[in-house]
Amino acid sequence: MLDIKFLRENPDVVRQNIKNKFQDSKLPLVDEVIELDKRNRAIKQEVEALRAERNKISKMIGGLMKEGKKEEAEEAKKQVTANAERVETLSAEEKEVEERIKTIMMTIPNIIDPSVPIGKDDSENVEVQKYGEPVVPDFDIPYHAEIMESFDGLDLDSARKVAGNGFYYLMGDIARLHSAVISYARDFMIDRGFTYCVPPFMIRSDVVTGVMSFAEMDAMMYKIEGEDLYLIGTSEHSMIGKFIDTIIQEEELPKTLTSYSPCFRKEKGAHGLEERGVYRIHQFEKQEMIVVCKPEESPMWFDKLWQNTVDLFRSMDIPVRTLECCSGDLADLKVKSVDVEAWSPRQKKYFEVGSCSNLGDAQARRLRIRVNGKDGKYLAHTLNNTVVAPPRMLIAFLENNLQADGSVRIPEALRPYMGGKEEIRPKK
């Protein structure tokens, strides 16, 4: 969310940013919020003047009563009453105006970083760099669900009976592999200096609206009926929410956390073959990382965060690449974002396995996360990135480590979490 003062002083910058994000329907909101802001300030000035006048008249009434000027005192009392009624009317209008201003300001997108490429959607994202050599083996690689089923490791039919489409049972070696990846990712991030956290898996509405746009909220979140609680779509939300309404001492920054959690998402819309199986699902588990830092340090942390994901995947012999997200592919709160994509030997292309984002002070403004510095208080910057999100990550793992005989090689880094196994072998 932008600072209203910034919009007031830089309306053309805000308009151009909206155009750069191809959200022209939001352009009228800039003029509307400017007019509402003028009205809000005028209301405050009038209320302040009325209250000052009321105090002045109230003092005068006592003097009039002492002098026996009862009629004049009664007239003055009427004026005080009229002023009070006017203040009450203005205060009600002020509340409505401020609520509308807040709604608009939460709808207008954050100012993107100048380095972000301009483009309409994810088809115009820009490849930054590849890590590792993509390999296509000389044998056919089955669809990921078929690989898992060959280990008796996936049961979608039972999951449909229990919970419907978009859910799954992982079994045996595949389930163990899933847990091994999560545990390895946890220790990987701890070794990089991050504090391990298991956060709440539900959050209140004020945290939801503090960490994401209304469009994201509608597309992702499951609400608990009858309660002010939502199931988290990613643990970054509850980890950032940990700092709501806090003043952090500057010397305590940065705050670097890595968390484990289940995640729940609506995943609206129809999806093709490659997004079935366990690729696009309503429930999954994830290791996440977040940073709360000084504004001047957020670009440095942004590069560190996505590099962590690249390094993790490369340690498991999975080729990856980074993509710079274009303006039209950025969620409204994001300043800059890089996707990490893993190589799929079966599809002979890369697919997304993680996303790293710098949100500037947008979440901090909404959640009131402030820093007490030597020159006064200021808003922190927040960043987040996926460490690893199986079972989607398992697709990349299984495809890149599949052998011609159907077995799956276990990279050395993961073997301690798999009981020392160097490979797992199919049951059928």
Query: Would you call 418 exposed, middle or buried from its count of C-beta atoms within 10 A (0-12, 13-18, 19+)?
Result: buried
What integer pLDDT is reported at residue 59 of this predicted model? Answer: 76
Note the pTM of the prediction, 2 decimals: 0.90
Do residues 19 and 98 share a domain? yes
Residue 137 above 70 pLDDT?
Answer: yes
CATH number at residue 48: 1.10.287.40
Do residues 97 and 149 share a domain? no
Number of Cβ within a 10 Å radius of residue 61: 18
Do residues 352 and 213 share a domain? yes
Determine how β-strand 195-197 pairs with β-strand 255-264.
Answer: parallel
Q: Which of 105, 139, 167 is the last residue of a domain?
A: 105
- Over residues 93-115, the pLDDT tens digits come to 999 999 999 999 999 999 999 99
Flag whether 110 is in a domain.
no
Do residues 14 and 153 share a domain? no
Flag whether 319 is in a domain.
yes
Task: Please tell me the distance from the alpha carbon of residue 395 to that of residue 181, in angstroms, as a whole number.
Answer: 12
Task: Please tell me the distance from the alpha carbon of residue 359 to that of residue 381, in angstroms, as a whole number.
Answer: 7
What integer pLDDT is reported at residue 99 of this predicted model? Answer: 95
Least confident of 172-176, 209-213, 284-288: 209-213
When computed from its CA atoms, the radius of gyration of the chain, rounded to whole angstroms, is 28
Do residues 143 and 234 share a domain? yes
Contact 352, 340 (CB under 8 A): yes
Query: Would you call 389 exposed, middle or buried from its count of C-beta atoms within 10 A (0-12, 13-18, 19+)?
Result: buried
Residues spanned by the domain of 78: 4-105
What integer pLDDT is reported at residue 73 of this predicted model? Answer: 77
Average pLDDT value for the chain: 93
Q: To 5 degrees, how large is the angle CA 145–CA 352–CA 170?
A: 30
Do residues 64 and 134 share a domain? no
Do residues 241 and 133 share a domain? yes
- Over residues 370-396, the pLDDT tens digits come to 999 999 999 999 999 999 998 889 999
Flag whether 261 is in a domain.
yes
Flag whether 113 is in a domain.
no
Higher pLDDT pick, 176 / 56: 176
Alpha-carbon torsion angle 125, 269, 382, 116, nearest 10 = 20
Residue with the two structure tokens 């059928």? 428
Do residues 261 and 292 share a domain? yes
What integer pLDDT is reported at residue 269 of this predicted model? Answer: 52
Residue 272 above 70 pLDDT?
Answer: no
CATH number at residue 152: 3.30.930.10
DSSP state, residue 24: G
Do residues 147 and 291 share a domain? yes
Cα within 13 Å of Cα(254), Cβ side: 25
Contact 379, 371 (CB under 8 A): yes
Task: Please tell me the distance from the alpha carbon of residue 236 to that of residue 363, in angstroms, as a whole number.
Answer: 11
Do residues 178 and 270 share a domain? yes
Flag whether 117 is in a domain.
no
Do residues 54 and 202 share a domain? no
What values do phi and psi take at 154, rounded to 5? -140, 130
State how many domains the chain has.
Answer: 2
Do residues 190 and 249 share a domain? yes
Please state, in angstroms and as integers, the Cα–Cα distance from residue 46 to each residue in 40, 51, 60, 86, 372, following that order: 10, 9, 21, 10, 33
